[in-house]
């Protein structure tokens, strides 16, 4: 198996929350490909596209740099990366919300009350922008994981984290007070790939298939 230069390249998450739904979507639109564990990439047998399996955090960068033409990733990561990529279509799974949360007993109910406070997050760029747009000066503390325990540890007065069911917040006695970003799985493209006639026609064929499946699911 090797990468084909004429083929479109699509990066998807190798092993995580979006992996199963992403593979299912690709198979539902009729693409045939292998995806066993150790694989880094796979050729589609019936469509001019190769699929790369990578860490989700790397997808916006790979798309922006043209390592791949397309990527499927949470909008949260695309926004956080601040790269030159274009969102083509929401894919209707992986829904979650990037939220500001505080300890339930903090007495804080409005983000304005966080002026001068520390805010821990794995989304420092999105968090910085959210507070800057509202002219609320905060000290953003970048944390790579388990952000929800930082208020109890005294690291921060508030957090900005992804929420889906809300059980993680509840478990840590936190309540959400504002929304930074509504997210779901999306397909993104490299702008040069979109202006390439050959590639853009294959991209359009793929999007047409996605649209068929997604509108049928509504
Ligand atoms: O290994 P790799 O780097 O590829 O994966 P990862 O571990 O960085 O990401 P992964 O697989 O956890 O998440 C991939 C994407 O799924 C995210 O970028 C989001 O777009 C989407 N997604 C949807 C979520 C959630 N829902 C979610 N609930 N990502 C993370 N969470 C976490 C959240 O951070 C918090 O810790 O789940 C916890 C909260 O969940 P609830 O249900 O208790 O609210
Ligand atoms: Zn990741």
Summary count for the chain: helices (H), strands (E): 8, 11
**Complex ipTM, two decimals?**
0.98
Using most ligand atoms within 8 A of CB, pick from 96, 143, 169 the residue to mutate for ligand 1. 96
Residues 22-45 have a mean pLDDT of 91
Residue 107 lies in a domain: yes
Residue 52 lies in a domain: yes
- Residues 129 and 207 grouped into a single domain: no
Residues 63-80 have a mean pLDDT of 98
- Residues 158 and 203 grouped into a single domain: no
Could you give the number of structural domains in the chain? 2
Instruction: State in Å: Cα 88 to ligand 2 middle.
Output: 21
- Given the CA of residue 147, which atom of ligand 1 is nearest to it? 36
Q: In the predicted model, is pLDDT for residue 50 greater than 70?
A: yes
- Residues 115 and 79 grouped into a single domain: no
CA distance 29 to 16: 21
Residue 3 lies in a domain: no
pLDDT digit string, tens, across residues 159-208: 999 999 999 999 999 999 999 999 999 999 999 999 999 999 999 999 99
Asked if residue 57 has its Cβ within 6 Å of ligand 1, the reply is: yes
Tell me the angle at which helices 197-217 and 19-28 cross, rounded to the nearest 10 degrees: 100
Range of the domain at 61: 8-94+184-217
CA distance 2 to 162: 37
Q: Residue 124 has which token pair?
A: 């420092």
- Residues 89 and 101 grouped into a single domain: no
pLDDT digit string, tens, across residues 92-111: 999 999 999 999 999 999 99
At 1, the pLDDT band (50, 70, 90 cuts) reads low
- Residues 55 and 119 grouped into a single domain: no
At 82, the pLDDT band (50, 70, 90 cuts) reads very high
CATH code at position 85? 3.40.190.10
Q: In the predicted model, is pLDDT for residue 5 greater than 90?
A: no
pLDDT digit string, tens, across residues 106-165: 999 999 999 999 999 999 999 999 999 999 999 999 999 999 999 999 999 999 999 999
Using most ligand atoms within 8 A of CB, pick from 15, 56, 175 the residue to mutate for ligand 1. 56
- Residues 100 and 200 grouped into a single domain: no
Residue 2 lies in a domain: no
């Amino acid at each position: 198996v090797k990468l084909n230069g004429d083929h479109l390249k699509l990066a998807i998450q190798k092993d995580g929350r979006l992996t199963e739904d992403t593979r299912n979507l690709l198979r539902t639109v009729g693409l045939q490909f292998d995806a066993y564990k150790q694989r880094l990439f796979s050729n589609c047998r019936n469509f001019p596209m190769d699929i790369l399996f990578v860490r989700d955090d790397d997808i916006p960068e790979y798309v922006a740099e043209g390592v791949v033409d397309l990527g499927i990733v949470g909008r949260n990561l695309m926004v956080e990366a601040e790269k030159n990529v274009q969102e083509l279509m929401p894919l209707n799974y992986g829904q979650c919300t990037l939220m500001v949360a505080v300890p339930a007993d903090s007495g804080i109910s409005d983000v304005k009350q966080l002026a001068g406070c520390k805010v821990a997050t794995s989304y420092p760029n999105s968090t910085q922008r959210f507070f800057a747009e509202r002219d609320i000066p905060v000290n953003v503390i970048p944390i790579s994981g388990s952000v929800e325990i930082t208020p109890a540890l005294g690291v921060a007065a508030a957090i900005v984290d992804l929420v889906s069911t809300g059980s993680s917040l509840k478990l840590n006695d936190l309540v959400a007070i504002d929304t930074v970003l509504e997210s779901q799985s999306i397909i993104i493209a490299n702008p040069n790939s979109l202006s390439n006639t050959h590639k853009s026609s294959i991209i359009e064929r793929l999007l047409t298939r996605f649209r068929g499946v997604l509108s049928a699911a509504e």
